[in-house]
Amino acid sequence: MIIDLLKVFVPSVIAFWVGIAIAPLLTHYLYKYRVWKKQPGKKALDGQVAVEFARLHGETETKTPRMGGILVWASVILTIALLWALQYIFPNSSTTKLLFLSRSQTWIPFTTLILGSLVGLINDILDVVDRNGEKGIPLKIRLLFVAVLSFCIGWWFYTKLDITSISMPFGDPLYIGWLVIPFFMLVSLFLYASGVIDGIDGLSGAVFASIFTAYAFIAFHQNQIDLAAFCATIVGALLAFLWFNVPPARFWMTETGTMGLTLTVAAIAFMTDTLGEGRGLPALPIIALLLVVTVLSNIIQVFSKKVFKKKVFKIAPLHHHFEAIGWPGSKVTMRYWILSIIFAILGVSLALLG
């Protein structure tokens, strides 16, 4: 038990300090090359100019660097590299035990994190480069990437890991056979849409940290120690990011952070479900409730504008609505932090007791 706990906590602590160490270097280059939007503003989901968003955040968009998510995945990669080097230089059972990268538990979520983050990085680079008004990778292309990647992972779950059912709260698993593939694709696409939660200083880092902490607990309870250590490592990296993202943010996470993290949450939720003889999926809507609400508020807003020609919220997603009605960004952030912790605890309780 002590060794397992060390395997979870040590990489997390290392990832945090690695993140703290590399942040000044990342900051230097982000500011040196002015890695921010050259023109403020963005379009809403219905294609119209987001006037309210420009009023709230238009000025900071041209002053705050993007691509802060590099800090998260780079810290995870460097932590794994350090653990590998430690095992190589001091080969013994203790150092070998600390390396959590394994085919059975962490290859899938680690690959998902890196691929998603790299595509997000390309999008962010294109977003800050002047290309005659074009910004980033077109949404349709990004959605296609998410669909293809999640199809491949869902296929692997079904054919290689024999996942053919999903758990139900307080009941027996539900057999769905090959439908696990499109189901995983839908979950991945939905969670990817929640990446817009990276909209206020300090908001996304804490929300994601709570989610990955919850799944670290769940994986540890299922004796998936490598997966628990991987989740904890991401938490350590996110806390380092949050150190520099609290108001006023030194940089924003943007797509290179949110794409990899949201897709990784989907993979881990499935890894901690029937594969781990647990209930990682039923717990997901609770643990990640703030992500769910973020997506639903966008859907409700677009539907209402299309059908009823009126807005439900002053601005979507919901966290910007609170800003628009007069809440300071720091108040929205702190209350989201509190809620994310509460929902994480509730979700873990369902996963362990349901």
Q: Count how many domains the chain has.
A: 1
Q: CA 215 to CA 208: how far, in whole Å?
A: 11
User: Cα dihedral sign for 349, 178, 114, 122?
Assistant: negative
Q: Are 164 and 177 in contact (CB under 8 A)?
A: yes
Model pLDDT, residue 41: 60
Summarize pLDDT for 207-256 with one digit per residue, the tens.
Answer: 999 999 999 999 999 999 999 999 999 999 999 999 999 989 999 999 99
pTM (2 d.p.): 0.95
- Crossing angle (nearest 10°) for helices 203-221 and 255-271: 20
pLDDT band at 134 (very low <50, low <70, confident <90, very high): low
Burial class (CB in 10 A: 0-12, 13-18, 19+), 296: middle
Q: To which H or E segment does residue 238 belong?
A: helix 225-245
Q: To which H or E segment does residue 166 belong?
A: strand 165-168
SS3 category, 64: coil
- Residue 345 pLDDT greater than 60, yes or no: yes
SS3 category, 41: coil
DSSP label of 317: S
Q: Are 106 and 224 in contact (CB under 8 A)?
A: no
Count of CA atoms in the C-beta half-sphere (13 A) of 72: 40
Cβ neighbours for 169, distance < 8 A, ≥ 6 positions apart: 279, 282, 350, 354
- Residue 313 pLDDT greater than 70, yes or no: yes
**What is the torsion angle, in degrees rounded to the nearest 10, for the CA atoms of residue 10, residue 12, residue 15 and residue 16?**
-110
DSSP label of 272: T
Q: CA 324 to CA 318: how far, in whole Å?
A: 10
Q: To which H or E segment does residue 224 belong?
A: none
Q: CA 118 to CA 115: how far, in whole Å?
A: 5
Model pLDDT, residue 75: 98
Summarize pLDDT for 62-117 with one digit per residue, the tens.
Answer: 789 999 999 999 999 999 999 999 988 888 877 888 999 999 999 999 999 999 99
Q: Which domain holds residue 247?
A: 2-353
Share of the chain above pLDDT 90, in %: 82
First to last CA, the chain: 24
- Crossing angle (nearest 10°) for helices 203-221 and 225-245: 170
* Cis preceding linkage at 247, omega within 30: no
What helix, strand, coil percent values describe the chain, rounded to 5? 70, 5, 25
Q: CA 245 to CA 239: how far, in whole Å?
A: 9
Count of CA atoms in the C-beta half-sphere (13 A) of 125: 7
Model pLDDT, residue 11: 97
Q: Are 80 and 229 in contact (CB under 8 A)?
A: no
**What is the torsion angle, in degrees rounded to the nearest 10, for the CA atoms of residue 83, residue 202, residue 249 and residue 112?**
40
Model pLDDT, residue 91: 86
Q: Both tokens of residue 36? A: 């921010």
Whose structure tokens read 């996304």?
Answer: 204
- Residue 56 pLDDT greater than 70, yes or no: no
Q: CA 202 to CA 351: how far, in whole Å?
A: 28
Summarize pLDDT for 111-124 with one digit per residue, the tens.
Answer: 999 999 999 999 99
- Crossing angle (nearest 10°) for helices 107-128 and 139-159: 170
Q: Both tokens of residue 299? A: 């859907």
